[in-house]
A and B are shown apart, each in its own frame.
Chain A
Amino acid sequence: MSALWTKTRAFVGSPAAVIVAGSMLVLVAATFATVLWPVYTMKHKPSSLWRPNRTLEDEGRLRYIANGCTYCHSQYVRPQDWGIGAERIAESGDYHQQQPHLLGSERTGPDLSQEGGEHSDDWHLAHFINPRFTRPRSLMPRFAFEGDRNIKALVAYMQSLGGKNADARVAAQKRFHAEAIAAYRKGPDENIEWLHSRVPRSWRAMPTESPVTDASVARGEKVYQDYCIGCHGPVGDGEGPAARYLEPRPVNFTTLRRHLIDRKYIGGILYYQIMNGITGTAMPYFKKDLESAKIWDVSNYLERNFIGHTDDKYPDVGIPASYEGKEAGPVTDQPAPEPPSRSVAP
């Protein structure tokens, strides 16, 4: 033991001790400079959108952490972002009282910092049961194993993301949900009439602004399969796998045939509703996912395949895109199928 003691005494003044102790000093100094000092000097105040979480939302947050959701979903929007939540760049006060932070480091799925109110509760339910029900190309795992109670908490947490901004969006969902459900319960035709009535007048009497060509319909089919098929189903009858979780249920496109505007037009309505969604129902807006041409393509697909009526032949006063006008000649050898001669409008 005394030999060890001698060696210990020798060690204290030796270069080895300088290395161990000196390096610790450097580390402590660095910790002070890059952790303690910024934490001390930062403002720790809530931002304008922050609000405390409710109990159910906190429960959902714990399930979000438990399942490692943060490894695919970030929770901060950057200035260069375009997707959901791009209206609100993250501020440090948004994360007030959060413990742990859930900023995340990867976006295998979308950012969720402003998810609250972006989708309806029933959309989230179907999405948690099987994400491919509402988002056919999603890579997200199914969370049916979490059970009804936890999924409810997770949905509540989703709807809280974005704080007061989320609350405003959720309020809009609630407002239109009441109207939508009332119309839906009256019957399928009344439902369509109500949906049409919520499209601005200028969009209603508008034909498709992109000719219903075979190529356009083929592109539209791809869009339909990537975005729409989970709810509206492969034959457009509104009986996709997500439908049983949704209230009101997705529209059956074939019924639109009875509700052409002026017995002619449907393209503008389809475009408007795909673009903006139907807030208050599970129908999300797609204007961030799909550019203008893609929305026309998918509405052309719906017209030809499910509605059985195309409205691109009606003359309009506009100047067509150069490749679409009459002067451009036929775009395909096969003429588009004629719409049926007998109108079934009421």
Chain B
Amino acid sequence: MLRDPLFVPKHTKGRPMPEGRFWEKEYSSARVWLAGGAVWMAIGTLAGLGSAIHLVAPDFFANIPWLEFGRIRQVHVNTVLFGFVVQMLIGCALYIMPRVLATKLFSEPLANLAALFFNAGVVLGDIGLMAGYTQGREYAEYIFPADVLLVIALVMVAVNMVMTLVRRNEQLLYVSSWYFAGAIVWTVFMYPLGNVMWHPATGAETGITDAIFLWFYGHNVFGLLVTPLAVGIAYYMFPRIAGAPLYSQALSIIGFWSLLLFYTHIGAHHLIQAPIPTWLKTVSIIDSFAMMLPVATVLVNQWYTARGRFGRFLTNPSAKLMLVGTIWYAIVCIQGPLQSLAVVQRVTHFNNWVVGHAHIAVLGFTGFIALGGMYYVLPYVTGRRVYSEKLINIQYWLILLGLLDFFIVLTIAGLIQGQDWLNGATVYRTVPQMKPYMTLRLAGGLMIITGAFVGVYNVLMTFRKGEPINP
């Protein structure tokens, strides 16, 4: 243990908020990114509702092109991923980064401008998808102009992160700052590569090569963008909530470097059954299992920090959300390596099992931590208490129960589909069997959506009517 990484940032204590335009004020960018994330969560889950309705009642939106399943599904995936999760996580990071470095954010206007570009990218991308303008590659569907807007925004955030590192007053680099700076800088490199932005018309490479590019990116969006951001936030919150120093600095170093080393090799496990080189599949499976190392180090480190003090996490709604996020992280990262095995994928690939896995990854792990981080950070960046703790708890239960429903129902549905196909049933024969599961999934989705709207209300009311905290 080098030094207690917990410190009270001096520069914010007792100082009045600086005067100026709203985009120059301290933490204004964090406010914008967090609010944006909350609103996109509602919109993104609503798009998910549209997709889920299709799978129960395919004629519900009959002949409405912009609500057609294939289009609205892409809107759902990209909106919750970029609009909600990435945006909310960056919002938290914009507050935490300067705090752990005992300095101010390099540039508030720059971060606000980045939010403008980022949201413009999501809006443009979503409208494009609904109008049928898509690149048709999972997680990389946004058309070129939207890609450009997102990359510009990410470059701005990267500059901000690195320059905040440069201007730090705290010499000890707390692990959260590594993850934040790393996540954004890596993504600036990886996003254009995976989106094949040197081919603006299609955003794709040629032949089976394209699949290798896509899934390198497709998995790295989780591994190198949302995972490090979420882990960084959890690393900040665990010692703060527990009131104890981080369990081990050494584990955090191992976790960071092994995440980067292993996560970058596993994209091909999405293509285990596709005609790509066998050695690449082998590498992806081995590294998928190696992923248990960074995951275990992170979770051991964080949970040991909270050892004996878990009560504090259960009485604090934001900490509770974050803690449950780390539990989902454990579940998703035990399930993930197992389903990378060829023998497991024989059953689970191509069906709803994977959909369940994706939901506990994005909403369970990163979404819960994003929400927990947001409610934790909101009072510091608004100077107001969260409007209603009760509403946070309601949102917590709605989303948790909805997501549990998703995970259980979709896993069962996937196993039925997978085993049936393996036994020779055609896909068409398994379609009617999905009806009860798709209906239950729709019910779970309604809970999650209700939770998202409760969240939007709570966040907006915090801005407007939250009880001011006395300076």
Contacts and interface: CB of A to CB of B under 8 A. Distances in A.
Interface of A: 4, 7-8, 11, 15-16, 19-20, 23-24, 26-28, 30-31, 33-35, 38-39, 41-42, 44, 65-72, 74, 76, 78, 80-84, 90-92, 94-103, 105-111, 131-132, 135, 137-146, 226, 288-289
A137 B70 contact: no
B76 to A, nearest CB: 10
26 contacts: A7-B166, A16-B181, A19-B173, A20-B185, A23-B260, A26-B257, A27-B224, A30-B264, A34-B216, A38-B212, A38-B276, A38-B279, A68-B70, A71-B69, A92-B275, A98-B206, A98-B210, A100-B214, A101-B137, A107-B427, A108-B431, A109-B428, A109-B431, A131-B58, A140-B58, A145-B64
A19 to B, nearest CB: 5
A35 B212 CA distance: 6
A106 B207 contact: no
A138 B431 contact: yes
Interface in B270-318: 270-271, 273-277, 279-280, 283-284
Interface string B171-201: 0010001100110011001100100000100
Nearest to A39: B209
A140 B426 CA distance: 16
B429 interface: yes
B352 to A, nearest CB: 8
Contacts of A76: 273-275
Contact of B277 (A42, A95, A143, A226): A42
Contacts of B417: 107
Contacts of B254: none
A66 B132 contact: yes
A34 B267 contact: yes
B74 interface: yes
Chain B interface size band reads: 35 or more
B271 A103 contact: yes
Interface of B: 54-55, 58-59, 61-65, 68-71, 73-74, 132-138, 162, 165-168, 173, 177-178, 181-182, 185-186, 189-190, 193, 199, 202-214, 216, 224, 256-257, 260-261, 264-265, 267-268, 270-271, 273-277, 279-280, 283-284, 346, 350-351, 354-355, 417, 421-422, 424-429, 431-432, 434
Nearest to A82: B424
A136 B270 CA distance: 32
Given A68-B71, A108-B427, A110-B428, 6 more contacts: A39-B212, A67-B70, A97-B206, A99-B206, A141-B54, A141-B68
A101 B426 contact: no
A95 B206 CA distance: 8
A95 B256 CA distance: 37
A109 B427 contact: yes
A137 B425 CA distance: 15
A68 B136 contact: yes
A28 to B, nearest CB: 8
Contacts of A27: 186, 189-190, 224, 260, 264
A44 to B, nearest CB: 6
Contacts of B135: 65, 100
B68 A139 contact: no
Nearest to A41: B277
A231 B181 CA distance: 60
Contacts of B134: 65-66, 68
Given A82-B424, A83-B427, A20 B265 contact: no
Contact of B136 (A20, A65, A109, A140): A65
A105 B260 contact: no
Nearest to B272: A78
B267 to A, nearest CB: 7
A237 B354 CA distance: 43
B71 A101 contact: no
A108 B277 CA distance: 27
A19 B167 contact: no
B68 A67 contact: yes
Given A4-B166, A16-B165, A100-B137, A138 B428 contact: yes
Nearest to B347: A80
A82 B421 CA distance: 7
A34 B268 contact: yes
Nearest to B228: A23
A329 B349 CA distance: 47
A92 B277 CA distance: 9
A100 B210 contact: yes
B432 A44 contact: no
Given A30-B264, A66-B134, A107-B427, A98 B207 contact: yes
A10 to B, nearest CB: 8
B220 to A, nearest CB: 9
B275 A20 contact: no
A101 B421 contact: no
Nearest to B211: A101
B271 to A, nearest CB: 7
B181 A20 contact: yes
Q: Which of A16, A30, A39, A107 has the largest count of B CB atoms less than 10 A from its CB?
A: A30
B354 A142 contact: no
A321 B294 CA distance: 60
Contacts of B224: 27
